[in-house]
Amino acid sequence: MNADPILETDPQLTPLAVAPDVAAKIAGVGRTTIYASIARGDLRSLKIGNRRLIMVEWIREWLISAEQSLPEGSDNAR
């Protein structure tokens, strides 16, 4: 069950932006990593009211950037 009533009524609707905890799940990292990356300016986010949101596109860009910053021949990139 989704917490978002729009997604519950229309499961075909893909979210444009997600909360940091959902961003962490999407990226396969912890919430602390998401918040630290936001604080460093590595991961973009926006604030609407009291909510912090991260565009799904920005999550993809952040992951690609992290992959590209790995040293050549690193075992971390497979």
Render pLDDT for 60-71 as a digit per residue (tens, 0 to 9).
999 999 988 877
Whether residue 6 lies inside any domain: the answer is: no
Q: Which structural domain, as residue segments, surrounds residue 58?
A: 20-68
User: pTM of the entire structure?
Assistant: 0.76
Whether residue 1 lies inside any domain: the answer is: no
Whether residue 47 lies inside any domain: the answer is: yes
Whether residue 49 lies inside any domain: the answer is: yes
Whether residue 15 lies inside any domain: the answer is: no
Number of domains in the chain: 1
Per-residue confidence band for 1, with pLDDT thresholds at 50, 70 and 90? very low
Closest-CA residue to 22 (of 45, 42, 50): 45
Whether residue 75 lies inside any domain: the answer is: no
Q: Which two tokens stand for residue 16?
A: 């444009």
Instruction: Give 45's contacts (C-beta < 8 A, 6+ positions apart).
Output: 20, 38, 52, 53, 54, 58
Whether residue 78 lies inside any domain: the answer is: no
User: d(Cα 68, Cα 64) in Å, to the nearest integer?
Assistant: 6
Q: Residue 14: exposed, middle, or buried by beta-carbon count in 10 A (0-12, 13-18, 19+)?
A: exposed
Whether residue 64 lies inside any domain: the answer is: yes
